[in-house]
Amino acid sequence: MEDFTYRCGTKIIFGKGAESQAGKECRGFGKVLLHYGMGSIKKSGLYDKVVESLKKEGVEFLELHGVVPNPKLKLVREGIELCRKEDIGLILAVGGGSVIDSAKAIAAGALYDGDVWDFFSKTLAVKKALPVGAVLTIAAAGSEASTASVITDEAESRKLHASGDVLRPVFSILNPELTFTLPAYQTACGIADMLAHVIERYFSPSESVDLTDRMCEGVMRSIVRNARLVMKEPGNYDYRAEIMLAGTIAHNGVLGTGRVEDWASHMIEHELSAFYDVAHGAGLAVVLPAWMEHVSKKKPGQFVKFARNVWGFSGSDRDAVQAGIKSLKDFFMELGLPATLKGIGIGKEKIGEMAGRCTENGPLGNFVKLGRKDVSEILELALENG
Amino acid sequence: MEDFTYRCGTKIIFGKGAESQAGKECRGFGKVLLHYGMGSIKKSGLYDKVVESLKKEGVEFLELHGVVPNPKLKLVREGIELCRKEDIGLILAVGGGSVIDSAKAIAAGALYDGDVWDFFSKTLAVKKALPVGAVLTIAAAGSEASTASVITDEAESRKLHASGDVLRPVFSILNPELTFTLPAYQTACGIADMLAHVIERYFSPSESVDLTDRMCEGVMRSIVRNARLVMKEPGNYDYRAEIMLAGTIAHNGVLGTGRVEDWASHMIEHELSAFYDVAHGAGLAVVLPAWMEHVSKKKPGQFVKFARNVWGFSGSDRDAVQAGIKSLKDFFMELGLPATLKGIGIGKEKIGEMAGRCTENGPLGNFVKLGRKDVSEILELALENG
């Protein structure tokens, strides 16, 4: 087992009607910046509930909205200006992973003398940030308890991440009811994302990580089971709750304790999103199986466990590797997710450029180290995989 | 799934030589009370390392030692006096669960105007406490990241618990090397304790807790596997590391999120320890299978899962219940733990009194509610069970 330091201090407030506690949790931080997306929270009534809760507790706040999927640097810069000018004490993100990531970037930038993009482009660790709170509306990214923020610089077509323990939200409010009306495709993308967060940790070069291996497998099995149920009954509280809690646990870091994590598939997907603005979960559904095809040839061992302990495969070890990968592919297809780059409208034109860019600072991943050629091969495989 | 609020802010510093970070972690809290047991940390050299680390960082400290297993109220009272007189800012517990529990009780009492025993005898929630840090020497109680403290009032033969989120240590240092030289019996008692912490959460009356069911099963499987390995190779770092991390995860509360927990077996065991001063883990090894025999008659469903998903039983559902319980019993015996009350020198004389006392405030447990008669039956069963 690897040495590690782990601390996740995010207070998770989980349950029916939990958004009514937003105001109480925001008390004592000073002026709040209410940060959200394109207005779906107004249609759903969530906006009114949160505002009512803030007012009830006498919390002063102002607003910045307009976050889009693959959240943009431009709005982050606006938010930083606003925080400084208005002396904001806490950023309350109401939305999915994109809104929370945008809030985290603003929080880091507001207390930094230089340019906020330094944290992303120079992978500078974030040491100081304004506190962030969240009311989560999509079970997916795990940003509600994670250390990371992923932001896209549209001008440069770059999607990069920054991280730091101070970026974990101080509180996150999770009410599964808020996810009842999510379109099936968004639900499916979220499921692919959380499953990917476990997979990125499960395929580790670390030895003797039995405990977290078993926990990863348990979380993956539960995601698969409840994903199937929730697609059939999107208004079922318990299925939504299982998926929502899984999204948080998949990415709060506990499944990575004592392990070296991989993250190659995420880095490759970020290139797809940067160039083509695809939904992150859809991109992952395409990249992950292709990544598996590629690396399992070099290191089949963990893939045998993956097949047996996640998908219940009972055949020979030799057949297990392919069986596990096929199960994952079939599962994504069952959820209505794309299986190939072509399926998300991406051709082979930029494969070389994308592979070059995501390996420009050295090889990707840890389970197997991937060079530019490997990434190209994975993307070629993803082109018509399936 | 049940509504819940969960926050575990304990910073876990895990790895080889991690105790050298004690001083750094104690900085900024003011004067430290170094709290430990009967001196085994002096023999092992750990005391010198911790003191050196404190001195290196210029941390002022004084000492209170003498904690024994089933830690005593008398020493807690002494500690409270000392903290007040010396204006202590942090209590550093160096030892196992008993030392950490004692430190937590002192921490709560030092900031409370009334008698510290109120928290235990009146189950008053602890709302304020001095910060506690820990250097863990035994993988067992999970106190290093839990909200609870269990203290024994010798004068009254009462072993009771108090809890509060503020009792979670601010940091806990876990170096598996420190557990290499633990006697086999103590290692085994620790394993029984951590397994019990998962079992108390696994057998829940809550419905739709699939995610945490799967996580509990994964943690139990890993404990069983690594327990067998560590008993054979007590000096193997990785096996010790797996068991040590499992002890923390078993009791930091994550496995109980969204579930109503049980805790009847712990309450019954506390009576054994209060009257007979038995090792907690040994008491649990006796009580748990008897509790299972009793409650599985009323609610067999979860026991079928327990047999299949923890112990790999593949026979019929009808046979599964007994197979699972037998596997647990056999496992405890394999570890060299007692199987019966007689095996720990306890006869039937006080069964009635113990059953009466632990149910005096109402029924025990939540998976199945147990009255005085039920507890008596469980203890009768434990008398010569096996």
d(C-alpha B33, C-alpha B67), whole Å: 14
Q: How many CB atoms lie within 10 A of CB B142?
A: 24
Domain boundary among A178, A199, A216: A178
Mean pLDDT on B300-321 = 96
Identify which of B223, B188, B181, B232 has the alpha carbon closest to the alpha carbon of residue B202.
Answer: B223
Token pair of A304, please? 């045998």
CATH number of residue A50's parent domain: 3.40.50.1970
Q: Would residue B105 count as lying in a domain?
A: yes
Residue A338 pLDDT grade (very low, low, confident, very high; cuts 50, 70, 90): very high
Domain boundary among A141, A161, A178: A178
Mean pLDDT on B144-165 = 95
Interface membership of B2 toward A (CB under 8 Å) = yes
For residues B121 and B211, membership in a common domain is answered with no
For residues B337 and B366, membership in a common domain is answered with yes
Chain B CB contacts of A222 below 8 Å = 210-211, 213-215
pLDDT at A207: 85
d(C-alpha A46, C-alpha B153), whole Å: 51
On whether the CB atoms of residues B309 and B353 are closer than 8 A, the answer is: no
Inter-chain CB proximity A1 and B241 less than 8 Å: yes
Query: What separation in angstroms does the CA of B312 have from each of A309, A324, B306?
Result: 12, 21, 9
Q: Would residue A4 count as lying in a domain?
A: no
CATH number of residue A331's parent domain: 1.20.1090.10
Residue A386 pLDDT greater than 80, yes or no: no
d(C-alpha B336, C-alpha B338), whole Å: 7
For residues B138 and B256, membership in a common domain is answered with no
d(C-alpha B147, C-alpha A375), whole Å: 46
Q: Would residue B70 count as lying in a domain?
A: yes
* Residues 190-209 (B) with a CB less than 8 A from some CB of A: 207-208
For chain B, give the mean pLDDT: 96
H helix intervals, A111-150? 117-121
Interface membership of B105 toward A (CB under 8 Å) = no
Inter-chain CB proximity A12 and B1 less than 8 Å: no
Mean pLDDT on A207-229 = 96
Q: Of all residues in chain A, what percent carry a pLDDT higher than 70?
A: 99
Domain boundary among B178, B204, B226: B178
* Global confidence as pTM: 0.97
Chain A CB contacts of B145 below 8 Å = none
pLDDT at B123: 87
pLDDT digits (tens, 9 = 90+) for B225-246: 999 999 999 999 999 999 999 9
pLDDT at B208: 82
d(C-alpha B15, C-alpha B176), whole Å: 7
For residues B231 and B169, membership in a common domain is answered with no
Interface membership of A315 toward B (CB under 8 Å) = no
**Burial annotation A21-43 (CB, 10 A radius, 16+ → b, else e):** bbbebbeebeebbbbbbeeebee
Q: Of all residues in chain B, what percent carry a pLDDT higher than 90?
A: 97
Residue of B nearest to A208 (CA): B238
Q: Which residue has the tokens 């970070």?
A: B21
Q: Which residue has the tokens 């990125």?
A: A200
Q: Would residue A368 count as lying in a domain?
A: yes
On whether the CB atoms of residues B60 and B1 are closer than 8 A, the answer is: no
Q: How many distinct structural domains can be found in chain A?
A: 2
**Burial annotation A354-379 (CB, 10 A radius, 16+ → b, else e):** bbebbbeeeebbbbbebebebbbbbb
Measured between CA atoms, how close is A350 to chain B, in angstroms?
40
Inter-chain CB proximity B1 and A238 less than 8 Å: yes
Q: Would residue B115 count as lying in a domain?
A: yes
Amino acid at position A220, single letter: M
Mean pLDDT on B149-168 = 94
3-state secondary structure of B305: helix
Residue A385 pLDDT grade (very low, low, confident, very high; cuts 50, 70, 90): low
d(C-alpha A251, C-alpha A242), whole Å: 15
pLDDT digits (tens, 9 = 90+) for B54-110: 999 999 999 999 999 999 999 999 999 999 999 999 999 999 999 999 999 999 999
Q: Which residue has the tokens 């506990």?
A: A254
Identify which of A266, A292, A283, A267 has the alpha carbon closest to the alpha carbon of residue A360.
Answer: A267
d(C-alpha B53, C-alpha B24), whole Å: 8
Residue B386 pLDDT greater than 60, yes or no: no
Residues in contact with A319: Cβ distance below 8 Å, sequence separation at least 6, in sequence order? A313
In degrees and rounded to multiples of 5, residue B220 shows phi and psi of -65, -45
- The interface predicted TM-score (ipTM) is 0.96
Identify which of A357, A356, A339, A351 has the alpha carbon closest to the alpha carbon of residue A379.
Answer: A351
For residues A191 and A171, membership in a common domain is answered with no
Residue B385 pLDDT greater than 70, yes or no: no
In degrees and rounded to multiples of 5, residue B45 shows phi and psi of 90, -5
Q: How many CB atoms lie within 10 A of CB A383?
A: 17
For residues A100 and A171, membership in a common domain is answered with yes
The range of the structural domain enclosing residue B327 comes to 183-384
d(C-alpha A20, C-alpha B218), whole Å: 35
d(C-alpha A27, C-alpha A54), whole Å: 8
Q: Would residue A3 count as lying in a domain?
A: no
Inter-chain CB proximity B211 and A246 less than 8 Å: yes
The DSSP H or E segment spanning A318 is: helix A317-334
For residues A20 and A144, membership in a common domain is answered with yes
Mean pLDDT on B279-296 = 96
Question: What helix, strand, coil percent values describe chain A, rounded to 5?
Answer: 55, 15, 30
For residues B34 and B122, membership in a common domain is answered with yes
Residues in contact with A181: Cβ distance below 8 Å, sequence separation at least 6, in sequence order? A44, A234
Closest by Cβ to A210, choosing from B11, B215, B226 = B226
Mean pLDDT on B170-181 = 98
d(C-alpha B103, C-alpha B100), whole Å: 5
Mean pLDDT on B331-359 = 95
For residues B210 and B342, membership in a common domain is answered with yes
Residue B314 pLDDT greater than 90, yes or no: yes
Token pair of A367, please? 């389970």
Size of interface A-B (CB pairs under 8 A): 133
Q: Would residue B6 count as lying in a domain?
A: no
For residues A147 and A229, membership in a common domain is answered with no
For residues B122 and B218, membership in a common domain is answered with no
For residues A326 and A298, membership in a common domain is answered with yes
Query: What does chain B come to in residues?
Result: 386
Residue A283 pLDDT grade (very low, low, confident, very high; cuts 50, 70, 90): very high
pLDDT digits (tens, 9 = 90+) for B15-38: 999 999 999 999 999 999 999 999
- Please tell me which residue, A277 or A49, carries the higher pLDDT value: A49
Q: Would residue B3 count as lying in a domain?
A: no
Parallel/antiparallel/unpaired status of strands A31-36 and B88-95: unpaired
For chain A, give the mean pLDDT: 96
3-state secondary structure of B212: helix
pLDDT digits (tens, 9 = 90+) for B101-115: 999 999 999 999 999
pLDDT digits (tens, 9 = 90+) for B353-367: 999 999 999 999 999
Inter-chain CB proximity B218 and A222 less than 8 Å: no
E strands, A86-229, are: 88-95, 132-136, 148-153, 158-163, 171-174
Parallel/antiparallel/unpaired status of strands B31-36 and A61-65: unpaired
pLDDT digits (tens, 9 = 90+) for A78-115: 999 999 999 999 999 999 999 999 999 999 999 999 99
